[in-house]
Amino acid sequence: MAMSVDEQRIREKAYEIWQAEGCPIGEETRHWEKACKQAEAELEAEVGTNAAAKVEESEFIPMPTSSPAEQSSASFEQDNQAV
């Protein structure tokens, strides 16, 4: 499954937040929501208030249900099946 640019950006931000907080367990949802807010603020700063309004109207990107390790493993398995 291909991930959107926005989802990848949020995923990277959530990971950075997780690391900055000392890698706590059980805070994934809070990190994801904080990363969404940061990405929205950055978009607003980059292209102005009109673009930020469009983000609010667009679909919220939900937090993935599997861990990055599970996703990497699944991606690796898919890539190797084609060989």
pLDDT at 80: 54
pLDDT band, residue 27 (cuts 50/70/90):
very high
Please choose, from the candidates 50, 49, 51, 55, the residue with its C-alpha nearest in 3D space to the C-alpha of residue 10.
55
pLDDT at 81: 57
pLDDT band, residue 83 (cuts 50/70/90):
very low
pLDDT at 60: 64
Chain position carrying tokens 């990848």? 8
Do residues 78 and 69 make contact, with C-beta atoms less than 8 angstroms apart?
Answer: no
Q: Summarize pLDDT for 29-80 with one digit per residue, the tens.
A: 999 999 999 988 887 777 765 554 555 555 567 777 765 555 544 555 555 5
H or E stretch at 76? helix 68-81
Rounded Cα gap, residues 67 and 15, in angstroms? 11
pLDDT at 23: 96
Per-domain boundaries in the chain: 5-62
